[in-house]
Structure 1
Amino acid sequence: MVLPALTEGSFQRKHLSSSLFFPSRDKTLPPIAAATDDSASDLLAHVRRSHLLQLFAALLQPTQLAATLASPGPFTLFAPCNAAFAALPREFLRAMMADPRMAAAILSHHVSPDVLQAGDLGRCRVRTLRGDRVCTFAESSGPRYGAGRITAPSVNARNGVLHILSEVIIPEGLGLHRRSAGKPAAVAHA
């Protein structure tokens, strides 16, 4: 089944079905063992190959960021898993799908031009390709990137390192406001 109100030839129809884009709202996070270390492949190849990152890969496809993740780097990619995207309000997800520039702004907030292994992610502020800084810190349950928990740390690639993240980190000003309890409150279309 394809998302309603999509036009022929649109990005959504070409790349996503509603079952992929709106998977069940199960909050179960993927197991750490699901990510495999392959330092011969680039970050883009890792993303495209991983069943945990299908939504990230689909959103990445129409952006310039895809070419960036295939370039020499080095980079650190904090890639939100499918469950992280499924936890976003559907209207916000639809807005990301309809606007590759919005998707690129959000996804580039998950890429650093520095190589950071899990052990490097104590209390620090990571510089992103978008130009922002995201706080990282270590907890007993593992490292965190912003509000997201790193569920599969330090997957090495030819041009950097990949960490699979439990949450999509939305930069300020891109339309998703959060209540103090951490639940999405409203979507303002950018």
Structure 2
Amino acid sequence: MAAITMDAPSAWDVLDGVDLPGGYRVEITAGKIIMTPQGEHPWRVVLAAAPQIKQRLAGRGTVLSRVMIDFPSMQYGYAPDLAIVAPGAARNSRGRFEWHSLEAVIEVVPQSSRDNDFAKKVHLYAECGIPLYAVIDPEDGVCTVHRHPTRTGSYEHATEAPFGQDLVLPLQGRDITIATDGFPKAGDLD
């Protein structure tokens, strides 16, 4: 896919100038703006995983959380729970990273968006060639790492790690290991 140019539209353009309410996750799926309240389980997982990823990247890449990424589509605008940006990647004219800058995307699946995370996002991320897509599922207490994307919108390889086992993200030239023993399962809130 060609890089997004300064004149290419982004799905996020429809929200330019809109004052969005706090406490909601905003994404664009199939041209529809979807706002969902931020759940506690996904947020706890993000808080547990992000510092581990940052430490293990050791300056070789950047970890972002819920930051708008420009995808080559007017129908899809995602702000992944966690995204690992490749070392040396540059922002576009909108000040955002583009899909081809990502080494990995990690989504924490709330009950309300299971279809989106397990079907639509898998398809888009694979079609865009994002090398690694990890799905963390507090409902089932398992992490699934999808690798080797195809242009037809699927990944050729998937491995699972139940909560309590290390989640290994094999990135280009290095592995990032995340301890999952602190990830809350559905029903495990204090």
TM over 0.5, yes or no? no
Higher relative contact order (CA 8 A, sep 6+): 1
TM-score, normalising length: structure 2: 0.28
Q: Which has the higher helix share?
A: 1
TM-score, normalising length: structure 1: 0.28
